[in-house]
Each structure stands twice: as C-alpha cells, then as structure tokens.
Amino acid sequence: MFSIEKFADSIKVKFKNIDFLREALTHRSYLNENRSYKLNHNERMEFLGDAVLELVVTEFLYHNYPNPEGELTSWRAALVNGEMLASIAGELGVEDYLLMSRGEAKDTGRARQYLLANAMEAIIGAIYLDQGYDSAKKFIMDNVAIKIEDILKNKSYMDPKSYFQEKSQEHMRITPSYRVLGESGPDHDKRFVVGVFLDEELVAEGEGISKQDAQRNAAAAGLEKKGWI
C-alpha cells in the first residue's frame, strides 16, 4: 500500500489532518474486514464533496459562459458525472490508495468505476473539511473544470444517440436505427448487445445491462468508427 502522504503531495494539498484524506479513501467494504479500523467509511464525505463540486462547477460555468441555462446544465452534467470523475481519478492514481475489501479489489468493471467516482467526491469533501472552500475550489478547477475544453470540442455533453443521429443526418442524410443482436445471462443480470445501423450497414456494436445502455454504447462506438468525434 502506498503512503497516504505521498498521495496528498501528488494532488498538491497539504492536509492539517491527514485522516480526512484517509477516510475519503476508505470504502465501506474495508470496515467489514478490518473491525479495528478507527475511521469511518467515505460516504458522508462523498455527500459533502458532491455538493461542493456542483457549486464550484456551476459558479465556474456561470461566470465564464453566457450560454442559456439548458446548455450550462448539460455541460455541468458532463463535468461531474461518474464517468468523468472516474476518469480523473484514474489520472490522479486514486485507485492505488483506496482501502477496500478483497472482494471489491477483484472487481475491475463498472463497480470499480462507480467506486472511483465516489472517492473523487469524498476527496473533495476531505479537502473542504480540512482546508476550506478556496482550497476545494482550486482542486476542482485544476482537475475537473479544466476538462470543459475537451467536452465542448468533442460535444461529449450530448447524449451519444442524439449526437450520432445529428451527425448521420448531417453527413449521410440517414436516420440511424438500433437492433438487438444478442442477449445473455439470467433475468436478474441480463447483458444486451445492440447494433447501430445506417440503412443496412452495421456501423458499430455496444453492450450494456439494458437495451438503452447498449444503444448509447453502440452510438458512442459509431461516432468513433465514423471519425465524427
């Protein structure tokens, strides 16, 4: 296990009480296997950090972009959603410092991404508790708000299905369609594979736990395949 102090240095925050950061990196499952652990898990800090994150990002967008509310709302959602936060957590190396159960440590799929996103919010909560609003704001500006340029350039604030339809009509004057290509697993844990088609051309496939999820993933893959992002 890497030292928590090393992580604090890497995110450029000098904690007065390093236990705030340690708690932010403690998943509930870790407590089940380590009964003598003296700190709490990170869910309360996550709750706090989520609110601070949303306020800072809202304030940033409000003061820097004169766009209407609907557009700013979409941009904010793209900046603070779980996928974005998990990606930023990956860049910061958060996973190396997470305390979790052996079972959680083995899961590297969607559940891990969810856990990383929650840890990011908890880290923001920890910085806010230890350093105050201005330090939390600086961390968010340096690591989250900075992603706005990529979001606007790639139009990743748009739902992939909407964007794929917009682009396919613009370039080919065709409205895409989606077909289920396969499904697997028991009723309580279904997986769907969906294809996105332009007329009879299968452009790309996507997999998901629902047909809608698979359609979004297919559209995102289609945008990449066509070079439209």
User: What's residue 201's pLDDT?
Assistant: 96
Rounded to two decimals, the pTM is: 0.76
CB burial of 57-88 (b: ≥16 within 10 Å; e: otherwise) equals beebbeeeeeeeeeebebbbebbbebebbbbb
Q: Are 27 and 101 in contact (CB under 8 A)?
A: yes
The parts of the chain modelled with pLDDT lower than 70 are 1-2, 107-110
CATH 3.30.420.40 fits 4-154, yes or no: no
Q: Are 132 and 102 in contact (CB under 8 A)?
A: no
Radius of gyration of the chain measured on its C-alpha atoms: 20
User: What's residue 1's pLDDT?
Assistant: 52
User: What's residue 36's pLDDT?
Assistant: 84
| Domain spanning 160-226, CATH class | alpha beta
Within the chain, all domains assigned CATH 1.10.1520.10 are found at 4-154
Q: How far apart are CA 133 and CA 56, in angstroms?
A: 9
User: What's residue 158's pLDDT?
Assistant: 81
Q: pLDDT, tens digit, for every residue of 98-113?
A: 998 877 777 666 678 8
User: What's residue 117's pLDDT?
Assistant: 94
Please list the active-site residues. Answer: 50, 121
DSSP 3-state assignment of 2? coil
Give the C-alpha distances (Å, rounded to integers) separating 225 from 164, 192, 205, 212.
11, 20, 10, 20
Within the chain, all domains assigned CATH 3.30.160.20 are found at 160-226
